[in-house]
């Protein structure tokens, strides 16, 4: 079988096994990844920085004897600090920033034997659930190039779906691993808060709602990568209990008869597309066929206060990152350095007092306890990952008069007008209308996953979202393994692929 065929047929662990058996060399895999990026990226704009020479050199040197030895890998261009390579975070302001050391998670990624061939597109600072930064332009969905890949790990999602690499890194602060996994037909697990070391050298991002991991096509690649990267890192504020056994073993174990709640109701939104409800119905039937108990039920979430509290955290997180970037570069930032929506969040955050921020934290903690109580009654909660199939690129952005007003007011540094007009509140409602369930487990810190179990009549993937309790990765991996065996998705390929 040719290297081209083998590369398509194998997941990351499969390619690494071929390297161990001497059937293929790491350099051959790197050259195939480069060929695919060069062929497909002009249509997709998934990879915004290439490292071909560095990858070739790594392939011909002594690689670590890890589970992914010799496997090409892409890093999301946010948080993933790699010494000597740009980390732009989708922002003009950081266009020339080059870290001088690896972040802890990147160090752990590299210890698995992966070979980094480039970095992937992301919205500015990972704020938005779609990947359309002004700096690099939008990433296109390989299932339909006129549609979004989601975000913020959209470049990684598109690259894996198209077959450039079998796995790539991602970060999740409101669904940013799970959203592109749904849009691109991939498996995406958001680990428990603190399971992986997260953030840049400075530490946590967005007050610890963000956790990093990888997007994959196969469940076992996700499990094996988490086995290799999880664990306490010095100074981490959270340290969940270690798993009873390797996650790679869990995917072969019977999950038993699970008690699973499900709901078609958008928990933080108002509407749910019929295709997403059809996917939910099909998934409920599939789960019942596997012997699980399905009960229609939902936790009681006070939608608007929770949405606004989450946006308060994000706005202050963005403002903090801008201040850190100013210190890092020794340059004072202005509205010209950022997209209008990003600078609007900075201006609004600067007007907030401490009590408002603390109240937002309190609101989110109350919701976290509500979710915790719900998972004392149920093993898992099932919803569609998103409220709609992948939308048309650009359709989720602020439009018309709102966009014009935000652009004008940010240029004037008129944060008080932005706040009074509640333009960002309206934009936040639009965001949560698209992602009505994924942010809840960033709030709670629990584990969750998007599983590619449904494609609509237009051939667009629609992920199914499973939320578990705190430190519930093992249960999720057991179920994911069962579902992957019952309804395989690995060989589903989009029109833009090799």
Listed by start position, the domains of the chain span 3-252
May I ask the CATH class of domain 3-252?
Answer: alpha beta
Task: Yes or no: say if 212 and 79 are a contact pair by the CB < 8 Å rule.
Answer: yes
Q: Global pTM?
A: 0.96
pLDDT at site 238: 83
pLDDT at site 424: 60
- Active-site residue list: 76, 152, 176
pLDDT at site 401: 47
Tens-digit pLDDT string for the chain (498 aa): 799 999 999 999 999 999 999 999 999 999 999 999 999 999 999 999 999 999 999 999 999 999 999 999 999 999 999 999 999 999 999 999 999 999 999 999 999 999 999 999 999 999 999 999 999 999 999 999 999 999 999 999 999 999 999 999 999 999 999 999 999 999 999 999 999 998 665 555 777 899 999 999 999 999 999 999 999 988 888 889 999 999 999 999 999 999 999 999 999 999 999 999 999 999 999 999 999 999 999 999 998 889 889 988 998 999 999 999 999 999 999 989 999 889 888 888 888 889 989 999 999 999 999 999 999 999 999 999 999 999 999 998 876 546 655 665 566 565 555 564 566 666 677 789 999 999 999 999 999 999 999 999 999 999 999 999 999 999 999 999 999 999 999 999 999 998
pLDDT at site 498: 87
Helix (H) or strand (E) holding 478: helix 473-486
pLDDT at site 341: 86
| Phi, psi for 97 (deg, rounded to 5) | -80, 130
pLDDT at site 407: 63
From first CA to last CA, the distance across the chain in angstroms is 15
Left if phi > 0, otherwise alpha if psi is -120 to 50, otherwise beta: which for 439?
A: alpha
pLDDT at site 406: 64
Close Cβ partners of 347 (under 8 Å, ≥ 6 residues apart): 410, 413, 414, 415, 418
In angstroms, rounded to a whole number, what is the distance separating the alpha carbons of residues 4 and 228? 28
């Amino acid at each position: 079988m040719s290297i081209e065929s083998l590369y398509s047929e194998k997941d990351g662990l499969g390619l690494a096994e071929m390297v161990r058996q001497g059937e293929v060399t790491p350099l051959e895999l790197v050259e195939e990844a480069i060929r695919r990026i060069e062929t497909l990226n002009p249509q997709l704009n998934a990879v915004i920085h290439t490292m071909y020479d560095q990858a070739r050199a790594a392939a011909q040197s002594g690689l670590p004897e890890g589970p992914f030895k010799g496997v090409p890998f892409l890093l999301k261009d946010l948080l993933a600090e790699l010494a000597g390579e740009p980390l732009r975070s989708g922002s003009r302001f950081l266009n020339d920033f080059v870290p001088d050391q690896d972040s802890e998670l990147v160090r752990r990624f590299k210890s698995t034997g992966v070979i980094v061939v480039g970095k992937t597109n992301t919205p500015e600072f990972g704020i938005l659930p779609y990947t359309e930064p002004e700096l690099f332009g939008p990433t296109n969905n390989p299932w339909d190039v006129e549609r979004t890949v989601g975000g913020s790990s959209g470049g990684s999602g598109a690259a894996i779906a198209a077959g450039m690499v079998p796995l790539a890194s991602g970060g999740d602060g409101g669904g940013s691993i799970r959203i592109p996994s749904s849009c691109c037909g991939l498996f995406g697990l958001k680990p428990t808060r603190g399971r992986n070391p997260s953030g840049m050298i400075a530490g946590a991002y967005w007050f610890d709602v963000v956790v990093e991991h990888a997007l994959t096509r196969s469940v076992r690649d996700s499990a094996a990568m988490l086995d290799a990267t999880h664990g306490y890192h010095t100074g981490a504020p959270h340290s969940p209990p270690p798993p009873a056994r390797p996650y790679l073993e869990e995917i072969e174990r019977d999950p038993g008869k699970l008690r699973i709640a499900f709901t078609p109701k958008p928990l933080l939104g108002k509407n749910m597309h019929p295709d997403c409800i059809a996917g939910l119905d099909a998934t409920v039937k599939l789960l019942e066929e596997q012997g699980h108990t399905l009960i229609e039920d939902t936790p009681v979430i006070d939608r608007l206060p929770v949405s606004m509290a989450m946006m308060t955290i994000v706005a202050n997180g963005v403002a903090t990152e801008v201040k850190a970037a100013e210190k890092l570069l020794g340059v004072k930032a202005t509205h010209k350095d950022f997209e209008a929506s990003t600078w609007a969040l900075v201006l609004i955050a600067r007007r907030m007092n401490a009590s408002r921020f603390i109240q937002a934290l309190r609101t989110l903690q109350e919701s976290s306890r509500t979710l915790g109580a719900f998972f004392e009654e149920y093993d898992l909660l099932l919803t569609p990952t998103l409220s709609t199939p992948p939308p048309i690129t650009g359709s989720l952005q602020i439009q018309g008069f709102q966009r014009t007003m935000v652009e004008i007011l940010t240029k004037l540094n008129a944060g008080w007008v932005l706040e009074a007009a509640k333009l960002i509140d309206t934009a936040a409602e639009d965001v949560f209308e698209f992602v009505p369930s994924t942010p809840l487990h960033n709030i709670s810190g629990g584990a969750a996953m998007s599983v590619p179990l449904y494609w609509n009549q237009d051939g667009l993937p629609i992920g199914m979202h499973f939320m578990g309790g705190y430190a519930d990765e093992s249960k999720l991996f057991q179920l994911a393994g069962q579902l992957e065996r019952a309804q395989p998705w690995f060989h589903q390929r989009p029109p833009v692929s090799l």
